């Protein structure tokens, strides 16, 4: 059994439970909260409801449930309104508890719904994808997308607890598992050279003996970063380091209408872009860039654009990124493998050169 973690914050702390299966632990927790006057409701999506029907019945039978559409399109104002109506129609009070079961999209949607309804109710995260387990379920970032860009609406609202059960990964589609690997590669690159070396040696699979330990290490790293810079206010470094590869990756998602790339696949391209940018700034060697790209490819992720995209559209999308400060983009670059830093004042021609190398036209 993998030991649990506590995300320690200035005003709130919460546990991350690492389990093989989660239904019994969730059922027990629901019963305990119900005794304290905190009844539960469930939010998931139709894909999870179909794939995890037996689990949902065992863990959540008898409580109100809402399944929203699957995919990035669910992070919209329209679907957000559906969740708010669901909470209101079921007379959820401030003592209510929203359970969010699914990947990063339901997690972001559910977290923001909990932050907004009655000006804030508690919620629990039960991530069912590798990406959500190692990244989006921890840290309290919630949000929706707008036509202008990704995650432009949102709030910092931490869950009451996170339940990570690795048995979900045994039935996760290979493409979804690979998408989660992108975030694990990110953690190795930004702060744990030994983790990156392990990923170089052999690609992760749902059957990897050390998968649970790798997931816990990523959560541990994120908890440490969030504790030091909960609301991403540090002038340099801090929580912004978690966006390694994401400024590029979000642009890929935006320009392709959230249709062609899973988030982790776009991050794979973004990590390759960040590596090439770091090389152009004099931090990495070409051999190190090659090592990064080979690791990305070994995990069944793209390291360049699958088809040409408009350079102008990509550059325009980046201007709407949340990390823009005083009208200037702030990138996360690699000073070396296992060490990242934020950097502004990068000439746009350098960024354009990176995009062109990855297939933009």
Computed over every residue of the chain, the mean pLDDT equals: 95
pLDDT-wise least confident of 225-234, 276-285, 331-340: 225-234
Residue 326: pLDDT band (50, 70, 90) is: low
Q: Tell me the CA end-to-end span of the chain in Å, nearest whole number.
A: 50
H helix intervals, 192-300: 193-201, 211-228, 246-255, 263-280, 286-298
The model's pTM: 0.94
Which residue's structure tokens are 């979000």? 250
Active-site positions read 119, 141, 183, 222, 232, 239, 243, 246, 250, 263
Mean pLDDT of 104-118: 98
The confidence score (pLDDT) of residue 266 equals 98
Tell me the CA distances in angstroms from 159 to 92, 196, 259, one per residue in order. 17, 29, 29
Q: Residue 328 has what pLDDT? A: 74
- How many other CB atoms are found less than 10 A from the CB of residue 6? 11
174-357 shares the fold of 5-171: no
Domain 5-171: which CATH number of 3.40.50.1970, 3.40.50.620, 3.30.450.20, 3.40.710.10: 3.40.50.1970
Residues 50-78 have pLDDT tens digits of 999 999 999 999 999 999 999 999 999 99
Kindly indicate the confidence band of residue 322, based on its pLDDT and cuts at 50, 70 and 90. Answer: low
Q: Is domain 174-357 given the CATH code 1.20.1090.10 in the classification?
A: yes
Domain edges within the chain: 5-171, 174-357
276-292 pLDDT per residue, tens: 999 999 999 999 999 99
Q: Which residues contact 354 (CB under 8 A, 6 or more apart)?
A: 248, 273, 276, 277, 280
In our burial notation (b when 16+ CB lie closer than 10 A, e otherwise), range 337-360 reads: bbebbbbeebeeeebeebbeebeb
For residue 46, what pLDDT is reported? 98
325: pLDDT strictly greater than 70: no
Average pLDDT over residues 14-31: 96
pLDDT of residue 10: 86
pLDDT at 356: 98
Q: Is the separation of the CB atoms in 187 and 218 below 8 Å?
A: yes
At residue 169, does pLDDT exceed 80?
Answer: yes
353 pLDDT tier (thresholds 50, 70, 90): very high
Please, which pLDDT band fits residue 324 given cuts at 50, 70 and 90? low
Average pLDDT, stretch 201-210? 96
The predicted model gives 108-132 an average pLDDT of 98
Tokens of 80: 């957000």
* pLDDT band per the 50, 70, 90 thresholds, residue 1: low
Please give the residue that has the higher pLDDT: either 10 or 281.
Answer: 281
């Amino acid at each position: 059994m993998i030991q649990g973690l506590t995300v320690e914050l200035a005003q709130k702390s919460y546990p991350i439970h690492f389990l093989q299966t989660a239904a019994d632990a969730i059922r027990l927790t629901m019963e305990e909260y119900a005794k304290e006057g905190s009844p539960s409701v469930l939010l998931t999506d139709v894909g999870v409801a179909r794939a995890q029907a037996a689990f949902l019945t065992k863990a959540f039978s008898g409580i109100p449930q809402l399944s929203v559409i699957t995919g990035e399109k669910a992070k919209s104002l329209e679907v957000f309104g559906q969740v708010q109506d669901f909470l209101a129609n079921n007379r959820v009070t401030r003592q209510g508890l929203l359970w969010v079961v699914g990947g990063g999209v339901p997690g972001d949607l559910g977290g923001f719904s909990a932050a907004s309804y009655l000006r804030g109710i508690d919620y629990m995260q039960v991530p069912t994808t590798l990406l959500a387990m190692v990244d989006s379920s921890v840290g309290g970032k919630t949000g929706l997308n707008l036509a202008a860009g990704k995650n432009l609406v949102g709030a910092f609202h931490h869950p009451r607890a996170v339940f990570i059960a690795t048995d979900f990964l045994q039935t996760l589609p290979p493409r979804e598992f690979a998408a989660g690997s992108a975030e694990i590669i990110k953690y190795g690159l930004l702060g744990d050279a030994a983790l990156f070396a392990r990923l170089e040696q052999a690609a992760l699979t749902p059957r990897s003996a050390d998968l649970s330990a790798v997931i816990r290490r990523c959560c541990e790293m994120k908890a440490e970063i969030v504790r030091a810079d909960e609301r991403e206010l540090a002038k340099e470094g801090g929580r912004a380091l978690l966006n390694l590869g994401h400024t590029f990756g979000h642009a890929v998602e935006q320009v392709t209408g959230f249709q062609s790339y899973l988030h982790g696949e776009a991050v794979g391209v973004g990590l390759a872009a960040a590596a090439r940018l770091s090389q152009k700034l004099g931090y990495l060697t070409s051999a190190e860039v090659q090592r990064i790209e080979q690791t990305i490819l070994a995990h069944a992720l793209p390291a360049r654009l699958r088809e040409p995209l408009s350079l102008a559209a990509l550059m325009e999308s980046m201007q709407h990124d949340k990390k823009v400060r005083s009208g200037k983009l702030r990138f996360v670059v690699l000073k070396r493998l296992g060490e990242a830093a934020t950097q502004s004042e990068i000439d746009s021609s350098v960024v354009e050169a990176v995009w062109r190398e990855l297939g933009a036209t």
